[in-house]
Amino acid sequence: MAKPTTDLQKLQQLLQYRWRDQSLVHQALVHSSFTYESRDREELNNERLEFLGDAVLQIIVSEHYYTLFQDKTEGELSKMRALTVCETSLARVARSLELGRFILLGRGEERTGGRERTSLLADAVEALLGSIYLDAGLEESRRVTLRLLADVMEDVITGQALRDYKSELQELLQRDSTEPVTYLIVDESGPDHDKVFTAIVMHQGIRLGEGRGRSKKESEQQAARMAMEKITADERAGGVQNGTVW
C-alpha cells in the first residue's frame, strides 16, 4: 500500500490546529482505495467525514458572506458560495498545504495520479474540516476554515476568481501519464512596477502552450489555458496528431 509521510506535525502546523483526538485526523486522510486494498477492511475511510465537512463548510461560508454583504441578493450570495466551495477552490487550498503527500492511498489510485487529483484533494479538505468540527466544534472550525479560504474568498469578492486551468490540465494529462507537468518562465519584460511574464507549459518534452500575465502565476494559468484549448480543439478535430498538441 502506498503510504504518505507520517509527519503530521507539519500538517498541523500549516493548519494552525492540533487535534485532541489524533484518530480523527488519521481517518480524514484515509482514502477509500486504501481501505479497499487493506487487510483490515474495518478501517474507516474519510467519506463520512467528507459528508460532514461539506455541511460545515457550507454553513461557515454562507454565514460569512451573509454577514459581510448586507446588500447582496440570495442569488449573488449563492454564486459567491459556489465559487468558494467548489472542487477547484478546495483543491487549491489542498495544494497550498501539500495535502496530497499526507493521504493514504491504494496502489491503483497512487499509480493514476491520485495525489494530484482535484476531486480527491477537495474531498480530503472537507474531511479535515469535518474532523475538526468533531474534535473542537463549530467555532474552531470557523477559525480554521476562514483562514484557509482567505485567498480564495478575496478572489471571489474582488471578482478575480478564475477557472484553475493548471489543475485541470494536470488532471487531464495524468489520466495517461505519471510524468509531471512543468512550467517555465521564459521571459520578463517591462519595468519592475509593471512587469509582464511569459510562461510555457511542458509535458513529456513537448511544449503545450504559452501564456503572458502580470504575475508568474497568471502567466502560468494562461499557458495552461492555451494548452487546454488546443487539446480540446484537437480532440474535436479527431485526435492529437503524432502525439503532439503544439
- For residue range 148-183, what is the model confidence (pLDDT) as tens digits? 999 999 989 987 766 678 888 988 888 888 888 999
Cα end-to-end distance, the chain, whole Å:
37
pLDDT interval class at 2 (50, 70, 90)? very low
pLDDT of residue 162: 60
In this structure, what C-alpha cell is assigned to residue 143?
477559525
Residue 244 has pLDDT above 90, yes or no: no
CB 70 within 8 A of CB 82: no
CB 118 within 8 A of CB 127: no
In this structure, what C-alpha cell is assigned to residue 100?
496530497
Residue 241 has pLDDT above 60, yes or no: no
Q: Give the residue, 2 or 25, on which the prediction is more confident.
A: 25
For residue range 192-217, list pLDDT tens digits in order: 766 889 999 999 999 999 998 878 88
Contacts of 198 (CB under 8 A, 6+ apart): 185, 186, 187, 188, 189, 210, 211, 212, 219
Contacts of 152 (CB under 8 A, 6+ apart): 84, 89, 92, 93, 161
CB 152 within 8 A of CB 84: yes
Residue 131 has pLDDT above 90, yes or no: yes
Specify which residues 184 forms β-bridges with: 200
pLDDT of residue 40: 60
Q: Which residues are catalytic?
A: 54, 126
Region 208-236: what's the mean pLDDT?
85
* Calpha distance 119→154 (Å, rounded): 22
Helix (H/G/I), strand (E/B), else coil: 50: helix
Q: What domains, with CATH codes, occur in the chain?
A: 8-157 (1.10.1520.10), 165-243 (3.30.160.20)
The residue written with cell numbers 504559452 in the block is 210
